[in-house]
Amino acid sequence: MNYRVLLAGLAVSLALGGCATKPANEASLKSSYAAEEPRHKPLKANDRVEMEPKKWLVADLETRAAVDASGPHDLAGRTLEVSSLKDIRLADKEVILTFDDGPAPGKTDRILATLDRFGVKAAFMMVGEMAQAHPATAREVLAHGDAIGSHTFRHPDLDKMTFDAAMTEIARGKDAVTKAIGTDVPFFRFPYLADSKRLRTAIAARDMIVMDVDIDSKDYFTSTPLSVVDRTMKQLYQRGRGIVLMHDIHQRTVRMLPVLLSRLEKEGFKVVTLKYKRTPAPATNLVAQADTKMVR
């Protein structure tokens, strides 16, 4: 027996097993995510479509058997109107579904179709470069009625950039997504969850809402779709609620989503729809404006 191979396999199994556990706190979640998510490059318009591994064939059969294709479904929860981060407060067994790094033709549209089947909405944090390359797919998300946010332009680690360079990257990403869909995007997520207090304060001052993460599906791991579902549900059982992080650039995410939604429904979870609510101008400002007009 090749003991080196055996020990290596055991080490990998232990590492992946540890990644499936719930972090002790928000800081450890950010550290874990930043260390584990691959430093990927955004997909280009002429990139090849990701192939589905043969090892998924069995999982696919299980997926088809696990999901009830008939309706109606009872998964949609309330609509949560938010104007700042403090407004995102979830009750027990409430989740917000989020997808990063798209839009990706052939994947994002299939995810939208699955969401439609279950009658729920999600939030899509788009990379500016991706939205610029695939504006039609970005507009499909808008037409579907999902929340849309930006995720920088090129998906860099902002923690390794100067403050000014990071803010330029954030603004460029927001502008690209806004241009692609034709309307402003109020939400934002830090790539690799690599934030800072200064950046968060600056973003809030620009009327942007940071989308944090409670449940990391780790769908960027090279595991089967059902493994992603099991990992996600395990964290939800432990936490009871939360914002779920997924990515609409992976075939495994497309494949696992119907099973995940079916499991959520079976366990009595509800998917919350996010809606941005612009904060009205302070009353004092309105009074001041009125006084100015009277003086004139």
Segment 189-244, tens digit of pLDDT: 999 999 999 999 999 999 999 999 999 999 999 889 999 999 999 999 999 999 99
Q: Report the candidate in 135, 74, 102 with the shortest Cα–Cα distance to residue 268.
A: 74
Amino acid at 128: G
- Look at residue 36 in the predicted model and tell me its pLDDT: 54
Q: Is 53 a member of any domain?
A: no
- Look at residue 17 in the predicted model and tell me its pLDDT: 33
Q: Is 180 a member of any domain?
A: yes
Mean pLDDT of the chain: 81
Lowest-confidence pick of 34-38, 81-85, 166-170: 34-38
Q: At what angle do helices 108-118 and 251-266 cross, to 10 degrees?
A: 10
Instruction: Out of 27-31, 61-65, 79-83, 283-287, give the one with best mean pLDDT.
Output: 79-83
Using 50, 70 and 90 to split pLDDT, how confident is the model at 81? very high
Q: Is 214 a member of any domain?
A: yes
Q: E-strand spans in the chain?
A: 76-82, 94-100, 123-126, 147-150, 187-188, 209-210, 215-216, 242-247, 270-276
- Look at residue 281 in the predicted model and tell me its pLDDT: 54
Q: Is 4 a member of any domain?
A: no
Using 50, 70 and 90 to split pLDDT, how confident is the model at 72? confident
Domain that holds residue 211: 25-42+64-295
Provide the β-strand partners of residue 98: 123, 245
Task: State how far the Cα of 187 lies from the Cα of 177, in Å rounded to an integer.
Answer: 11
pTM listed for this prediction: 0.78
Q: pLDDT, tens digit, for every residue of 170-193?
A: 999 999 999 999 999 999 999 999
Residue 240's CB is within 10 A of a number of other CB atoms, namely 15
| Integer angstrom CA distances of residue 64 from 57, 58, 60, 287 | 11, 10, 6, 61
Q: Is 82 a member of any domain?
A: yes
Q: Is 219 a member of any domain?
A: yes
Q: Report the candidate in 79, 92, 91, 171 with the shortest Cα–Cα distance to residue 123.
A: 79
Q: pLDDT, tens digit, for every residue of 113-140?
A: 999 999 999 999 999 999 999 999 999 9
Q: Is 5 a member of any domain?
A: no
Q: Is 177 a member of any domain?
A: yes
CATH number at residue 112: 3.20.20.370
As for how many domains the chain has, the answer is: 1
Task: State how far the Cα of 249 lies from the Cα of 257, in Å rounded to an integer.
Answer: 13
Q: Report the candidate in 107, 170, 174, 171 with the shortest Cα–Cα distance to residue 141.
A: 107
Using 50, 70 and 90 to split pLDDT, how confident is the model at 260? very high
